[in-house]
Amino acid sequence: MQGIASKYREQTYALMRIVVGFLFSCHGARKILGLFGGMDGEGATADLFSQIGLAGAIELVGGLAVALGVFTGWAAFLSSGLMAVAYFKAHQAQGTLPIQNGGELAAAYSFLFLFITARGSGIWSLGGLLKKS
């Protein structure tokens, strides 16, 4: 298994970065743009200058930046912090473990973005293309 896993390490990381960034941006698109049913299932949006609106803006812009691989480290760092705050603010009070308090997604995103922060944009990224130019 080591040979197969190491042979496609860069491609697997790039796919993970792209998919995680895209999925994260969908949360922001729901809050800010009213897509995917919006905040209420009928297209409602959050006030941009509210906590939810700010979170949605970070999710939308940060997720797209990570997916596209531009300013990846900063976008992933900010997104990781956002999800850590979301976990402790919205979920921790409801129970200790993420499985008890519904915070699995926030915890997973926080650590995925922390990993992306440490690893950078990698292949298949706009940041990589811009550096080559």
pLDDT tens, position by position, 28-69: 999 999 999 999 999 999 999 999 999 999 999 999 999 999
The CA-atom distances, in angstroms, between 103 and each of 84, 92, 96, 106 are 10, 8, 10, 5
**What span, in angstroms and rounded, lies between the C-alpha atoms of 43 and 22?**
20
Q: Is residue 1 part of a domain?
A: no
| Total domains present in the chain | 1
Residue 132 falls inside a structural domain: no
Give a yes or no: residue 87 inside a domain. yes
Residue 127 lies in a domain: no
Q: Is residue 77 part of a domain?
A: yes
Report which residue type is found at 122.
Answer: G
Q: pTM of the prediction?
A: 0.93
Higher pLDDT, 72 or 5: 72
pLDDT tens digits, 103-133:
999 999 999 999 999 999 999 999 888 777 6
Beta-carbon contacts of 121 under 8 Å, excluding residues fewer than 6 positions away, are 17, 69, 70, 72, 73, 127, 128
What is the distance between the alpha carbons of residues 44 and 89, in angstroms, rounded to a whole number?
Answer: 23
Classify residue 2: in a domain, yes or no: no
130 assigned to some structural domain: no
- Full domain range(s) for residue 37: 8-121
> What backbone torsions phi and psi does residue 82 show, to the nearest 5 degrees?
-60, -45
